[in-house]
Amino acid sequence: MVRFYDSTLRDGAQAPGVAFDRHQQLRIAQALDALGMDEIETGFAASGPEQRADMRAIADLGLRARLLSLARPLKADVDHAVAAGVEGVILVASVSDLHLRFKLRKDYAVVAEQALEAVEYARSLGLFVQLSMEDATRTPVDRLLDLAVRSQAHGAMRIGLADTVGVATPTAMRELVAAVRGSVDLPISAHCHNDFGLAVANSLAAVEGGAEVLSTTQNGLGERCGNASTEECAAALELLHGISTNLDLALLTATSQLVAECSGVPVPPNKGVVGGNSFRHESGIHVAAMLQHPSCYEAYDPAVVGGRREYVLGKTSGRAALRHLAGSAGEHLDDEECRRLLDVVKRLSEAGTQIDSQTVRQLMKR
């Protein structure tokens, strides 16, 4: 079993140009809960009173999922999280040489002590506590292991590893998670960014290395190139790896569409699992085979993820597809009509027109 905590309302909201209003946040939170999300990161409570009010409104919904806030290892941030009504905190400690020198301007020993004090303080308030190590994939492994072991001793309940700028490879991520997992008796979570397009692959590799929890966002929304996408990770885990999750895969497409609508960031047509072209077929050779057996060119039934199979006509279409769409419109085509319509279809396609069964019906009337 792999569990998910969703960061759409926190990391996703940090994507340039994205600003969810409260109504949208409530809709997304409810959709994530219906999807079966184990935990929802509802925001960064220390960012201001308006953010805390939004987070409190989500808490007042009485959702099943555990609600979390991002927090720096500061008592004030933990207090703000409590005020926002969440049940847990993701305490973020930056311990790479780069971040220690240029971001924090502190020694590792000082940052580690602050992190451990924050863990203890959050636990004293009854919160679930994950200590996440930011920029973990550019941090010396011995430093990660040291902080992980000490965090467990101070009460941390989960260790998070963040590939903050997406520089890990699947092999490196697998080995890193395995090393940390072998040093503590705590669940490990992975938070992967997509700067090299490897966020999903790295998340799956993290699971292979022993991670039990994945931090993802809907549609991979997030800063810069985004995060590992919930829909791709969940589908790959269940359908390729045979690893169960608590997510209802049949709701993946609807949830994706909601977040695209609220964020104003459209889903690319060729995106895995939920893209508009995921189950849309044009090639004549492919369609002819699929009409015999859909598995020829589909890895799984679209209904599994709430999708729908669609045949469209274009310049690569053949007679089988044309006859199928005509049949869907209640029409029968002979060979001569097929030849005539295919010529028309190819001309329209080259002009940029996408053709479905309704278009075929209209063409037959000409």
pLDDT, tens digit (0-9, with 9 covering 90-100), for 200-247 = 999 999 999 999 999 999 999 999 999 999 999 999 999 999 999 999
- Judged on CB neighbours under 10 Å (0-12, 13-18, 19+), 153 is exposed
- Taking only the tens place, the pLDDT of each residue in 74-101 is 999 999 999 999 999 999 999 999 999 9
Q: What percent of the chain has pLDDT over 90?
A: 83
Task: Return d(Cα 40, Cα 108) in angstroms, integer.
Answer: 30
> Cβ contacts of residue 116 below 8 Å, gap of 6+?
150, 151, 154
pLDDT (0 to 100) of residue 277: 96
In the predicted model, is pLDDT for residue 321 greater than 90? no
Domain 3-263 matching CATH 3.20.20.70: the answer reads: yes
Residue 149's closest CA among 188, 183, 109, 176?
Answer: 183
Task: Return d(Cα 56, Cα 62) in angstroms, integer.
Answer: 11
Q: What is the 3-state secondary structure (H, E, C) of 87-132?
A: CEEEEEEECCHHHHHHHHCCCHHHHHHHHHHHHHHHHHCCCEEEEE
pLDDT (0 to 100) of residue 363: 73
DSSP H or E run through 253:
helix 252-263
Residue range(s) of every CATH 3.20.20.70 domain in the chain: 3-263
For the entire predicted model, the pTM comes to 0.94
- Taking only the tens place, the pLDDT of each residue in 130-185 is 999 999 999 999 999 999 999 999 999 999 999 999 999 999 999 999 999 999 99
Q: Which residue has the tokens 């990161």?
A: 41
In the predicted model, is pLDDT for residue 301 greater than 90? yes
Give the pLDDT band (50/70/90) at residue 366. low
pLDDT (0 to 100) of residue 14: 96
The three-state secondary structure class of 334 is coil
What are the structure tokens assigned to 208, written together?
A: 């292979």
- Give me the mean pLDDT over the 243-257 stretch: 98
What are the structure tokens assigned to 219, written together?
A: 């549609």
pLDDT (0 to 100) of residue 365: 65
Average pLDDT, the chain: 94
Q: What is the DSSP letter of 236?
A: I
Given a contact cutoff of 8 angstroms between Cβ atoms, the answer to whether 173 and 141 are in contact is no
